[in-house]
Structure 1
Amino acid sequence: MPSIGKLDPTDDRIGVLHIISGLTVGGAERMLVWMARYHDRSRFRVGVVSLMSGGGFAHAIRCEDVPVFELGQRRGRLSVSGLRSLFSIAKEFDPEVLQGHMFHSNILARLMGVRLIGLSGRELHVLNTIHHEHESIFRRLACSVTGPMAAAEIVFSLPSDNLVAPEFFWRPTREVFPYGVEINEELKRDRRVLRAALDIPDDAVVWVSVGRLIPEKGFPVLIEAFGLMKTRGERPFLLIVGDGPERERISSAISRTGLSGSVSLLGIREDVEDIYRASDFFVLSSLSERSPLAVLEAMAAGLPVVATRVGNVPGMVEEGRTGFIVPPSDPSALAGAMERVMKMGEEAREWGKRGSRRVHEFFDFRRTQEKIEEYYRLLSRGKGRNG
């Protein structure tokens, strides 16, 4: 574990220390990379504590000259030595803002904030970032008991989002910020080169789907939809980016459906933008979501979208203008929408361009980061956004 080193007493920047369970894969993890990449270095010093070790996102954050402290803990568990290390890091970093991400890290940030009170001349503000609502009774109860220890909950939301505080006997102060994704304007690699590296013919029709391989993402439904298209003579390719506990089940479904030659499980990739560029269309088959980042990332890359009607997807995808929206758990409807968009030709390409313009106009994460940092500055001056 790297040492923080002695802080410069003349450094008057606002210290922000993030705590997250791990940095391997997921929307919350990618968002933390963007927060590290776009923070105002003249006003903030930022650090990240990852309860688990490893993951490409840890490397990406370090590339932004932001320190990452990995505790080497097991998923969902924190040892006594891990707690001591976390406390030592937080004490040495001496932040004004201690911000948790996801359930376990939010709980730890609250408890750590109580432990750190009075150990510094700075006023400490504990923030919890809610990336999705907690549904289990245990988690809701834990949030209710520890929630008052935090100054506020940070929520990234679309204007259409229906925010419901899930706690039993405590209603949190919620600070809502606009949802956004990174928009990379740098020159991309040649599409033909990318396809050659993936062993895909240059003239093939390629779909891409990105997400953790977990039941909620509905990948077996997507495989069944591809099987239906195959029986009707369609031969597109499908690239699935991500990993998780459902990988073996999904792989078996691919083999059972006879799709081994056209569906590829790519695992965790750090070149997701290149995968989008090598593809023609994006598909989301989720059974439940809140605001899936992958939909906006695909739209930013200029891909038409077919997605299930879950969470805030209808607020992202303009039905009949940037994509199609279908009911979840319906392979036939999903296959039908995918076949329709494949036959649209130039109109589909126009949908992709329209979607890209929409993301640039409404969902640029750099604007989100500016609003977050404005809130940090208000906290450091002893004010809330309404103060």
Structure 2
Amino acid sequence: MTLQARASTGSNPIRLLQFLPVFKVGGTERHVTSLSLALDRSRFDLHFGCMRREGEFLADVQARRIPVTEYRIHRLYGAHTLREQVKFARYLRRNRIEIVHSYNFHANCFAVPAARLARTPVIVASIRDTGALLTPHQRRAHRVACRLANVVLVNADAVRLWLIGQGYDPARIVVIRNGIDLARFGRPRTGAGVRQELGVSADAPLIAMLARINRLKGVEYFLEAAASVAAGFPDARFLVVGDAETMKGDAIVQHSDYLRELEGHLCRLGLQGRVVFTGFRLDIPELLSEVTASVLPSLSEGLSNAVLESMAAAVPVVATQVGGLPEAIEDGVTGLLVPPRDSAALAKAIARILEDRELAARLGQAGHRRVAERFSLPNMVSETEQFYSTLLGQTRRGTAHGVALDSERTRARGRLRRRVKSGAASLLYQTGGDRMFAVLAGVHRAPLVLGYHRVVENYEPHARVSIPAMLVSRRTFEAQLDWIGRRYRFISFDELLRLLASGEPCDRPVAAVSFDDGYADVYENAFPLLVRKGIPAAVFVVTDLTGTSHLQMYDKLYLLLARARSTSRFTSDGLIRQLTEHGIRLAARAPVFDDPFTAMRVLLETLPHAELARVVEALEARVQLEAADLEPLRPLSWDQVSEMHRAGLAIGSHTKRHVLLTNEAPGVTVDEIAGSRRDLERGLGAPVRYFAYPDGRFNSAVVSAVADAGYQLAVTACGHRESGYPLLTVPRRLLWEHATVDAALRFSPATLSCYVNGVFDWTRRCALDHRGTEPHGGSACA
């Protein structure tokens, strides 16, 4: 089954309801409106629910003729609220809503229980901040309501980690970051009218703070910084763009006490005539076109749309190092970060931008590129559409929390294993034991060769439908590279070959980066980051899949086995019986097939490729795969491979079909190894010198075939070396999302240090006999 074949089949649109308290101007409201207007209307039948049918964004929704229903309440409990929730549940049942997605405290506490009452198939609760404005009682109520949802969707890793600390289930939290419509900021604009309206001269520096006015935004620190900046730049003018309204029950109230405090503070600082409170504005792109610097001094934050919009407009940003802001701003590269509640540091950072125009321009352009790469509206919409489709498909199949079907006991073992690993790594890292281990094991002198498979925007949604150990999020990938880059010099595979061939020692530790299997997300997510950081790499592609819509055999097996496992009529004995009827003889016992990943591994390790194709055929007669599951697994196109090659990345072979070479007849092995090299050289018009063994599997006969085919360097996935061909058995360390995390699933430098220094090698011994020439089963090299 190909992607196109499955995607082209018709289906009814998914009935989706978004629930907001109100449509007033704000980061969440703009996000939901932008998302809803950009969703594919052929795939989604959209509805809205709200507590107050008013606000600046309501007109945009109504213009698209999207139904909006109001459920006006005065508080989140009581008889009237219960009646409104029953009314809402009836609407969901009557309109056969399949997904309810609500946003933040008030909407989640109202809509999630009602959707559960209506037996809505999928319920998503979004949390977009760290709850600093909530009381302890409200936080408890919010946690109880969110337990009724299938998934808690957040917009930043910082929010995810805070929720885990609050007792939320990490397995139910998914991160999809905000997306900005770059087209709003890409058109030539003149903000002269804005300056004229605000009484600001054409050449005066204009520093703006874009935020809803409340105590958590730190407006007083902005005013204090403004007073310091004004002393050195008398012409500078300052804007506070946003209103002071908030939702309380069904009422929209003003933070009037805080506003009066700010007015008094402004007078004491002598800033009259220098600071303008503009109120809310809809002309943000025009305003930003005239802004010299954008400032956000928040004390608590999720992932600010105001910061992303400023970066999209190429305006240099100064922000506090809180919440999800460091996920958007790399200090000194895409903006400047300062500690919260530090007006002196804030003023110093603003002054740097005003003094150094080259720095300001560099930060602005880098910020724009960061938004285009990571926070664009199309990316966010595509991820969210895939998230909705996948979650609904899993729920229909009775696997609302993913295809892996992990039991609570399995998850508990995983948590215990992470705690032990994290504790040991932390102790060794702090005492230098990890580096001593590397010296004793002799790995400190060897080049560090890293291996990856897929680089995705967010780990959690992909891990629900793909093999988790092949995934790394772009954020974790960058964190791993940054840590390694501070301790190693990144080298190309050409330099790696020269270094290993010469046997000469390095002046400092070196590292090389590689990617196996040729997934398109390597081009989409890893390639731009590598180019930006100037890191060379090698990409090993499967030539028969390149430029097609076909899946890797192991991906297809995993998805089909998981889908078969999720059906009510599944039994392991029944599956084995069906495969036997297709003439497939299995050595595995029935319990193996209770777990899709274990079953996939056993099949790969014991059957040749032709037999695996017959297993897939038998499974496809039993279950079908959906386009939403297949699309993220698409391979690279030849154009993408050629572009990466022109940019300096090495392109190597990973065979023609990703066959496990030790399972195949000699003639098949030679064709896979030599044929893939011919195909690559024909497609690239350049010699191909590098090879990666699929699944790290090789023996003497396979290595000899690689040598005969003319490859000069080949990489494995374990520490075994072939004495006659050391350059054709170069070991790698394979990294993925959870390879370098602590017990709370946060990136851990200690764990990564232990990993690259070989501390954990004793826990993952390779069981394969690489010396034999006969096919050999057993555990994979990893």
TM-score, normalising length from structure 2? Answer: 0.45
Distance 1:199 1:113 in 2: 50
Would the alpha carbon gap of residues 160 and 101 (structure 1) be closer, same or farther in structure 2, given more than 3 Å must change?
A: closer
Structure 1 residues 187-266: aligned runs within 5 Å:
187-244=187-244, 245=255, 246-266=258-278
- Verify the 8 A CA contact 1:110 1:147 in the aligned structure 2: yes
Distance 2:104 2:171 in 1: 16
Comparing 174-183 with 84-93, which one deviates more in the overlay? 84-93
Aligned-residue offset at 1:95? 0.9
Of 276, 285, 307 in structure 1, the residue corresponding to residue 288 of structure 2 is 276
The superposition leaves residues 152-206 of structure 1 with CA deviations (integer Å, 9 ceiling, x where unpaired) of 1112225997454255486661222234323225635322233223332111110
Distance 2:189 2:86 in 1: 45
Would the alpha carbon gap of residues 145 and 187 (structure 1) be closer, same or farther in structure 2, given more than 3 Å must change?
A: closer
State yes or no: 1:150 paired with 2:153: no
Larger relative CO (CA 8 A, sep 6+): 1 or 2? 1
- Verify the 8 A CA contact 2:320 2:337 in the aligned structure 1: yes
- Verify the 8 A CA contact 1:277 1:301 in the aligned structure 2: yes
Aligned equivalent of 2:126: 129
Aligned-residue offset at 1:74? 4.3
The residue matched to 1:149 in structure 2 has which SS? Answer: coil
Aligned equivalent of 2:337: 325
Distance 2:167 2:387 in 1: 27
Aligned-residue offset at 1:287? 1.4
Aligned-residue offset at 1:330? 1.3
The superposition leaves residues 66-121 of structure 1 with CA deviations (integer Å, 9 ceiling, x where unpaired) of 3333334447678446435433433343210011110121122221123212xxxx
Distance 2:292 2:232 in 1: 20
The superposition leaves residues 225-261 of structure 1 with CA deviations (integer Å, 9 ceiling, x where unpaired) of 1112233453311111111113332233223322221
Structure 1: tracts of 5 or more residues without a match: 1-9, 118-122
Aligned equivalent of 2:99: 97
Aligned equivalent of 2:36: 36
Aligned equivalent of 2:321: 309
Aligned-residue offset at 1:218? 0.4
Distance 2:369 2:235 in 1: 30
Distance 1:329 1:200 in 2: 28
Aligned-residue offset at 1:281? 0.9
Aligned-residue offset at 1:315? 2.4
Aligned equivalent of 2:115: 113
Structure 2: tracts of 5 or more residues without a match: 1-9, 245-254, 403-460, 466-782
- Verify the 8 A CA contact 2:153 2:175 in the aligned structure 1: yes
Would the alpha carbon gap of residues 230 and 101 (structure 1) be closer, same or farther in structure 2, given more than 3 Å must change?
A: same
Comparing 343-352 with 206-215, which one deviates more in the overlay? 343-352
Would the alpha carbon gap of residues 214 and 172 (structure 1) be closer, same or farther in structure 2, given more than 3 Å must change?
A: farther
Distance 1:235 1:75 in 2: 48
Aligned equivalent of 2:21: 21
- Verify the 8 A CA contact 2:19 2:107 in the aligned structure 1: yes
The superposition leaves residues 329-348 of structure 1 with CA deviations (integer Å, 9 ceiling, x where unpaired) of 11111111111110102331
- Verify the 8 A CA contact 1:17 1:98 in the aligned structure 2: yes
Aligned equivalent of 2:361: 349
State yes or no: 1:56 paired with 2:56: yes
TM-score, normalising length from structure 1? Answer: 0.87
- Verify the 8 A CA contact 1:18 1:47 in the aligned structure 2: yes
Aligned-residue offset at 1:65? 3.6
Distance 2:169 2:315 in 1: 42
Aligned equivalent of 1:4: none
State yes or no: 1:175 paired with 2:177: no
- Verify the 8 A CA contact 2:89 2:115 in the aligned structure 1: no
The residue matched to 1:325 in structure 2 has which SS? Answer: strand
- Verify the 8 A CA contact 2:227 2:269 in the aligned structure 1: yes
Distance 1:160 1:139 in 2: 17
Aligned equivalent of 1:380: 392
- Verify the 8 A CA contact 2:130 2:301 in the aligned structure 1: no
Would the alpha carbon gap of residues 289 and 44 (structure 1) be closer, same or farther in structure 2, given more than 3 Å must change?
A: same
Would the alpha carbon gap of residues 195 and 139 (structure 1) be closer, same or farther in structure 2, given more than 3 Å must change?
A: same
Aligned-residue offset at 1:369? 1.3
The alignment's C-alpha RMSD in Å is 2.6
Would the alpha carbon gap of residues 284 and 167 (structure 1) be closer, same or farther in structure 2, given more than 3 Å must change?
A: closer
Comparing 253-262 with 213-222, which one deviates more in the overlay? 253-262
Distance 2:165 2:52 in 1: 27
- Verify the 8 A CA contact 1:154 1:175 in the aligned structure 2: yes
Aligned-residue offset at 1:371? 1.2
The residue matched to 2:164 in structure 1 has which SS? Answer: coil
Would the alpha carbon gap of residues 53 and 348 (structure 1) be closer, same or farther in structure 2, given more than 3 Å must change?
A: same
Distance 2:178 2:33 in 1: 15
The residue matched to 2:155 in structure 1 has which SS? Answer: strand
Distance 1:85 1:202 in 2: 55
Comparing 104-113 with 131-140, which one deviates more in the overlay? 131-140
How many pairs does the alignment contain?
Answer: 373
Distance 1:66 1:294 in 2: 26
Distance 1:153 1:349 in 2: 38
Distance 1:269 1:193 in 2: 14
Would the alpha carbon gap of residues 318 and 184 (structure 1) be closer, same or farther in structure 2, given more than 3 Å must change?
A: same
Would the alpha carbon gap of residues 365 and 169 (structure 1) be closer, same or farther in structure 2, given more than 3 Å must change?
A: closer
- Verify the 8 A CA contact 2:334 2:370 in the aligned structure 1: no
Of 343, 367, 370 in structure 2, the residue corresponding to residue 358 of structure 1 is 370
Aligned-residue offset at 1:130? 1.3
Which of 1 and 2 has greater Rg? 2
Distance 2:381 2:51 in 1: 24
The superposition leaves residues 304-348 of structure 1 with CA deviations (integer Å, 9 ceiling, x where unpaired) of 111111112222222222322111111111111111110102331
Would the alpha carbon gap of residues 75 and 235 (structure 1) be closer, same or farther in structure 2, given more than 3 Å must change?
A: farther
